Structure 1
Amino acid sequence: MAATVDRTRVRVEDGSSMGRSYTASSNKRAGLGAERRGLTTKSFNIDDDKLVLDSLPAPNLNTSTKADILAYFLNSYDLNSSLFALLKNDSVFYMKPDVLRRPLIFYFAHTCSVYANKLALAGVIDDIDPYYQKMFETGVDEMSWDDMDDMQDDDYAWPTVAESEAFRQRVKAAVVEVINAMPDPKEVPITMDSPYWGLIMGFEHERIHLETSSVLIRQLPIDCVRKPATWRDCPFRASTPAEVPKNKLQDVDATRVVLGKPCDFPQYGWDNEYGKRVVDVPAFAGSRFKVTNAEFLPFVLAGGYRDRKWWVSPRGDDEGWRWASYRNATHPSFWVATAAMPDFIGGTPELPYQKDDGHARAGTGTEFMLRVELDIVPMPWDWPVEVNYHEARAFLNWKAANEGLAPGQLRMPTEAEFHAMRDDPCPFPEALTGKRFAGQRAGIPADPEAAERMVATADAVKAPPATVPDFGAPAPVDASIEHPAYQEDPAAFDVVMNPVCPGNTNMKFHSPSPVHLYPPSTAGFYDTHGNVWEYVEDHFAGLPDFSIHYLYDDFSTPCFDGWHTMMLGGSWVSTGDESSNFGRYAFRRHFFQQLGFRYVRTTAGTKEDFPGQATVKNLWEGMGDISQQVTDGYATAADKLAVVGDAPAVSALGAITLADASTFPRRLADAVATLYAKAKAPAAAAAADASVLHLNCGAGGVTMQLCRHFSNVVGTHHVEPVLRQARLLQHHGQLEYQRLTEGILTTTALVNVDRDIDRSRAVYVETCVSELEPALKANGGKPFDAVVLDGALTQVTQPLDALKSLRKAGVVAEGGVVVVLSDHSWNADVTPRNSWLGGFNMNGEEVTTRDSIVRHLGSRGLYEFVEAADVPVLRCQDARRFTLELIDAVALRKGAEAPPRAAAAAAAAESACA
């Protein structure tokens, strides 16, 4: 029975949304997930002889006819449909191959919702089905690689496959009608000012999802897909690592690269492609090939996935290690370990790392196999390895160490360096690249016989050559042949507009291919077009003169956040704009894609504060100094000092003034007691009988004040000399010490503990904020009624570990209270940016530290947010320097211990297609 869905509860976003960062209202029916996992029907099918598995070249919007535009739309639509027709049955549509993404049914209809919404926004059509248009448009881009709790529940009431296909057919008919009624592009060219720009945008959006859906389907268990006879895996492959050509470094002279795309270019482009950035690229050396499976193998066999040092950057960023540990990663995600290789079967029962590890179709040998789109095949050692950014970075750290290079001397190229290696013609005259044009596209064999062998892939599959040709160095350049001027032939500047694209792209094959199958660029580098995407070091960012388009105002800008790393070059399944010379795309660093990497070696002694500093675009550098300079010079007194103005600032605990800041320890202890009284469960102990844990207590000033309110106070700190001062003050009630006045000059000062404080209530323990066993022992092994996490989040390299320690069973009593204190002053020299809990944008949304504290502690309902308050503190650095901070105190109440996450649902999903 189909689920009944309440259409009035769907969240309606702005019509320009591209389906990023939003969540539709919850519509669930208990037991629906289990029901769908049992489906054996196949409501959507295309006969093998009707499958469309070949892509047309991108249309020239100045010269194409309506027939060309219609053919390109139908090709886009049919390619996507054909991919989903390869799912085994209806149950697979409701599976989530990646737990961080939506189920496949969403992506099945998503592209049609965008067609409908964009054409409606452009005023070309009326809404077709507002409910489905919104349900299938709004998507989720998770906040981190372990953020699964807010994703759609298995019992979410998605439409049936048949209902979804009916919606798709209605949209298809509407788009065909629009194309038939539009002016002929040869007479009225389609420009970005035309309402029909949204039509072409829909085509290219669908082609993006052809690729991203191919990755999700590749992550399904192999039993959930079928492979038709017309599917063309590349037949060329090296059967042993010894057969693979050695990767060598190729020198590149200093050059000038111009990034960007002219606004009048006669082919669709996303907003981030337009603008112009001129980059002077210093000389460097880059690897001729992308890193192959063979080149990556020694890293895996050497235990590289288990060795933390390869996953941590010289600046202490360990985002990669946290990802590898969380996933229990053991090898590249599309490699398959056989049952005879138990040491390489990673993941957990509830979150398998590679769903085909140990599968019968992988055989019983002791060598890795490879999961391609629809099959498990013997490892093709000369194909590019496909990994995420973290794996690529770890490999390069390992390789550099093994070759005696300095840390960071091997890295991935920057965007500008990649274009220097590609050496394609550039429409901007300032560029020094692309001048070696030899009358043919880089990457297309000059030999007609070789060209026929590479392009006629259907024949190649039937009769593959015995060996893959090695084209060697670039062909000599004929200086008498000049590339046409941009004004004469704009299409000549983009390979995707040629009848045949260079390299393994535009679905020549339906898999990767050997890294030396196609000839190199004129600069000597292989696979700069297609095969698999490759990472560059740049954060995704707009070019100078970037501007958004009203039809896709959230396509790129949500990713200009420093968390999305650029990828260039396209893959075997890239078509249209993805295969374009101008294509600029990005993914989160933990995502998987048809994606690999090559490397460059910097000159010995080159110092880079961040990878590729000379030419890279890094969004995380230099913003703080500029903000402080402008604020200090121009902001009002009230903006500079929130608690100083015409009236006291107001906190959740009442008005606060500058005087409050000078009595911070007392003020904070009072605030904690007030928050505890408000937040604790009725059955929890009263403060006078309660125990409190003060984490990061320093010299114990606040710890002593907490003794006014609580019966047992345990203070912890990780630095013994600091804790020694706390113990001295507790024992003697006073301390004479040297107070800093200027430079290293000091004066003798005496401080006292208030006489009305019962100092015997306190106990001090030396430990860090994420190791709480010693503190629990000091409390008699009992959980604490309250915990104060005092400013530690911005003082440690991994703040999330501190929050995780508070989620452990037996630390906080049920109904107890946690108060987290933070000034939100994140510093990249202390905490790597990838480990910050707030203070940045992600996916177009501001992420604040308070929100992250509530989200992480409140995960799975373990803690409930109660209240937050501002507490001022005045700190003395020396006789002339004082800082005023406004501490954010966030109070949460502990609920019942959550049961362990069951693996039953995951196991059921694994066996759904068996």
Structure 2
Amino acid sequence: MQYRADTINLQNGTIEEKREEIKNYFLQTYELDEKLFDLLKDKKSIYEQPNRLRHPLIFYYGHTATFFINKLMLSKLINKRINKHFESIFAIGVDEMSWDDLNSENYLWPNFEEVKEYRLKVKNLVLELIDTLEFSLPINWNSPMWIILMGIEHENIHIETSSVLLRELDISHLVEDETFSYCKEYLNTYPKNELIKVQEGEVVLQKDRQNPIYYGWDNEFSYHKAYIKEFFASKYLVSNGEFLEFVQDGGYSKLKYFSKEGREWLDFTQAKMPTFWIKKEDKYYLRQINKIVPLPLNYPVDINVYEAEAFCKYKSEKLGFEVRLPSEDEYYRLYDYTKANTKKANIGLKYFNQTPVDKYAFDDFYDVVGNVWQWSITPTYPFDGFETHPIYDDFTTPTFDDRHALIKGGSFISLGNEILKSARYAFRKHFFQHAGFRYVKSNNEYRTKLNDNVYETDELISQYCEFHYGDEFFNVKNFAKNSVEILKPYLKEIKTIKALDLGCSVGRSSFELAKTFDEVMGIDFSANFINVGVKLKKYESLTYKVRVEGEIFEDKTISLKDLNLDEVKNKVEFMQGDACNLKEIYSNYDLVFCSNLIDRLYYPQKFLDDIPNRVNKDGLLVIISPYTWLEEYTPKTNWLGGFIKDNKEVKTFDTLKNNLDKNYKLLDLIDIPFVIKETSRKFQHTVSQMSIWKKVK
């Protein structure tokens, strides 16, 4: 069967033609995802956990549908959930972030048929939206149809990552039916690799948020330019045969070839060969997604970054000069040099497996695109002018560190945005992702280090870092610290075992609460915000940039030690979560602390219906807010106050009282001012109201 490999052109055609095109694209992706799980012999296998750093397969079956609903809710394109429980448990847990809750004891997974029925309901809802949403051409990232495309492209990613998980699952769980097309050009010989010149040239990437040709993720937009000097690149991707030389020479036991992190991975896994190789009676076999075949020496090897780097050191020793992984810019230069966009490739599910490294020619090179992803030496970093998309602010920024590397070129199963030259995907260096590599001999400079404790780009995060951890202005005390200090007299009368800081932002109040409580859970909707707290726990300091004026910025540093918070950091944990749809495990707290949160929620009444039940008897619920209701955050129909109804003023505190009076006693109302610095001469001065409620029933 032929699948549409490319993504949607956002500019051509009419509105109705575009609706039909998007509908067909959605149906292919949605149904292909389900077809992948049909490879399981028994649906009980969907509860297997192929990789202990991942959820069971059932999570990924539900996750892609849940993603549509959560993003449609956030963008206010729908105002009602299909299944609140599913849209909580299937929401987060993909990239092994510290806030991914992988503890299976915290989940009671639903049965397969329930999730299948849920997926059908989501499918019908999305189809209805595609038919009815009003939009114009070109579709850009402010368009409502962009959110639909976001869900489709997100599912394309998971078709690939789920196929890797199936490949890691014991093959006894999978059918060997040839549901897809396979390439069977298996040989026990392989072409000899060689280095070929790539002429110098300029690399330019430019993508316009307002007028894009294709859908893109946040890290692809803005402008990037580099000049690449002449270099040499391997003609072929490294084949199983070429990598076998490294294995047979004892490469995995020679620690000199591995980086420090690579040695730690090696010690942890005790690997002796690539993870998808199988050795029986001195013969090697290859695990494909749902087949085991004699190791095709002419197919590209699948490995992680640590193995690729080690091979390059080994190869350098053999060649007598240094070869390494290519940089991202060197990949772009090779792509342009070979006019890769005009060539045929093993991509877009032409086959359900890899193909020989000498099958698809790109002038003098092979597989510049497709077959397997190609690891680069480049960490994820933002282009100038980088902005996060407001509906998916944590797609890229959590990967701005030294533990992720960019992969380029796509694999045999890549679809949609993944096959574009402009695609910038990053995976953890120990991941397996149908990824191989080629090596280069080059004198070009390249970026290998991204300072892990520096936020280089996101001004909003920097502004909140300054608000939480920075200086005091106009004799107004630090808001996060002062709020907890004001609360302390009321904490003397309650148990201080567990506290929940809901809407914790960048984490200062969570650390301050840990001075009193044994355990503090900080939860925020934004992964970018909680990542500040996560990094402070790990590194104890973090540098951020504050705007002085115009384009002038000043570096500032947060130090937990200087703030006397380093001794309590291990009592704090940070998780990503939706205050309007929290997981059930977040319960039984002695304090639930909600600061400047309620007037930023898309459905605050759902929060009020739920959150009081998560507080222990005699515990406290603290709500702090300036009651600044704005339609950009909360649809007006969902405001708790700030409007006229039946010729009467409705104020937020009165709504709080009406909701809480039955089970809570109001202990106090306190005004707390705060100042947010925007530039050296521009500040926001606001007064929040703190209401302190004690649970009496």
Same fold (TM over 0.5): yes
Aligned counterpart in structure 2 of residue 89 of structure 1, from 22, 42, 66: 42
Give unpaired runs (5+ residues) of structure 2.
457-465, 472-480, 482-527, 541-558, 572-697
Aligned counterpart in structure 2 of residue 292 of structure 1, from 220, 225, 239: 239
How far is the alpha carbon of 1:233 from its aligned partner?
1.8
Partner of 2:654: none
Deviations 1:855-904 (A, max 9, x none): xxxxxxxxxxxxxx9999xxxxxxxxxxxx999568999xxxxxxxxxxx
Distance in structure 2 (CA, Å) of the matches to 1:575 and 1:891: 43
Per the alignment, in what secondary structure is the counterpart of residue 591 of structure 1?
coil
How far is the alpha carbon of 1:539 from its aligned partner?
0.7
Distance in structure 1 (CA, Å) of the matches to 2:137 and 2:313: 54
How far is the alpha carbon of 1:261 from its aligned partner?
2.5
User: Is 1:392 equivalent to 2:308 in the alignment?
Assistant: yes
TM-score, normalised with respect to structure 1: 0.49
Distance in structure 1 (CA, Å) of the matches to 2:536 and 2:75: 38
Distance in structure 2 (CA, Å) of the matches to 1:164 and 1:599: 44
Cα separation, partners in 2 of 1:394 and 1:191, compared to 1, 3 Å: same
| Aligned positions of 1:285-434 closer than 5 A | 285-312=232-259, 318-338=260-280, 340=281, 366-405=282-321, 409-423=322-336
Partner of 2:450: 619
- Contact kept? 1:292, 1:385, Cα under 8 Å: yes
Aligned counterpart in structure 1 of residue 181 of structure 2, from 226, 232, 256: 232
- Contact kept? 1:281, 1:615, Cα under 8 Å: no
Aligned counterpart in structure 2 of residue 592 of structure 1, from 417, 421, 432: 432
Per the alignment, in what secondary structure is the counterpart of residue 534 of structure 1?
strand
User: Is 1:504 equivalent to 2:417 in the alignment?
Assistant: no
- Contact kept? 2:400, 2:452, Cα under 8 Å: no
- Contact kept? 1:850, 1:890, Cα under 8 Å: no
Partner of 1:554: 394
Letter in 1 for 2:49: K
User: Is 1:174 equivalent to 2:120 in the alignment?
Assistant: no
Cα separation, partners in 2 of 1:105 and 1:623, compared to 1, 3 Å: closer
Partner of 2:342: 442
Cα separation, partners in 2 of 1:125 and 1:394, compared to 1, 3 Å: same
User: Is 1:274 equivalent to 2:221 in the alignment?
Assistant: yes
How far is the alpha carbon of 1:398 from its aligned partner?
1.3
How far is the alpha carbon of 1:586 from its aligned partner?
0.3
Per the alignment, in what secondary structure is the counterpart of residue 306 of structure 2?
helix
Deviations 1:803-858 (A, max 9, x none): xxxxxxxxxxxxxxxxxxxxxxxxxxxxxxxxxxxxxx9994544575689xxxxx
Distance in structure 1 (CA, Å) of the matches to 2:226 and 2:539: 38
How far is the alpha carbon of 1:536 from its aligned partner?
0.9
User: Is 1:246 equivalent to 2:162 in the alignment?
Assistant: no
How far is the alpha carbon of 1:67 from its aligned partner?
1.6
- Contact kept? 1:310, 1:395, Cα under 8 Å: yes
Partner of 1:222: 171
Distance in structure 2 (CA, Å) of the matches to 1:369 and 1:114: 37
Aligned residues: 482
Deviations 1:611-647 (A, max 9, x none): x6x143631399799xxxxxxxxx9xx999xxxxxxx
How far is the alpha carbon of 1:165 from its aligned partner?
0.9
Letter in 1 for 2:417: D
Deviations 1:32-71 (A, max 9, x none): xxxxxxxxxxxxxxxxxxxx77345322222351221111
Aligned counterpart in structure 2 of residue 102 of structure 1, from 48, 55, 64: 55
Letter in 2 for 1:245: P
Letter in 1 for 2:90: F
Cα separation, partners in 2 of 1:196 and 1:870, compared to 1, 3 Å: closer
Distance in structure 2 (CA, Å) of the matches to 1:193 and 1:369: 49
| Aligned positions of 1:205-216 closer than 5 A | 205-216=154-165
| Aligned positions of 1:768-807 closer than 5 A | none
Per the alignment, in what secondary structure is the counterpart of residue 157 of structure 1?
coil
- Contact kept? 1:422, 1:525, Cα under 8 Å: no
Per the alignment, in what secondary structure is the counterpart of residue 286 of structure 1?
strand
Aligned-pair identity in percent equals 36
Cα separation, partners in 2 of 1:199 and 1:624, compared to 1, 3 Å: closer
User: Is 1:142 equivalent to 2:96 in the alignment?
Assistant: yes
How far is the alpha carbon of 1:328 from its aligned partner?
0.7
Per the alignment, in what secondary structure is the counterpart of residue 85 of structure 2?
helix
Distance in structure 2 (CA, Å) of the matches to 1:509 and 1:164: 29
- Contact kept? 2:139, 2:212, Cα under 8 Å: no
Deviations 1:389-408 (A, max 9, x none): 00101111111122223xxx
Cα separation, partners in 2 of 1:843 and 1:72, compared to 1, 3 Å: farther
How far is the alpha carbon of 1:98 from its aligned partner?
0.7
Per the alignment, in what secondary structure is the counterpart of residue 259 of structure 1?
strand
Distance in structure 1 (CA, Å) of the matches to 2:70 and 2:452: 37
Per the alignment, in what secondary structure is the counterpart of residue 411 of structure 1?
coil
Per the alignment, in what secondary structure is the counterpart of residue 286 of structure 2?
strand
Letter in 2 for 1:395: F
Pairwise CA RMSD of aligned residues? Answer: 3.3
Letter in 2 for 1:169: L
- Contact kept? 2:402, 2:452, Cα under 8 Å: no
Higher gyration radius (CA): 1
| Aligned positions of 1:374-773 closer than 5 A | 374-405=290-321, 409-423=322-336, 441-443=341-343, 502-521=344-363, 524-603=364-443, 614-616=445-447, 618-620=449-451
Letter in 2 for 1:410: V
Letter in 2 for 1:163: E
- Contact kept? 1:541, 1:617, Cα under 8 Å: no
Letter in 1 for 2:277: W
Letter in 1 for 2:410: G
Distance in structure 2 (CA, Å) of the matches to 1:75 and 1:257: 34
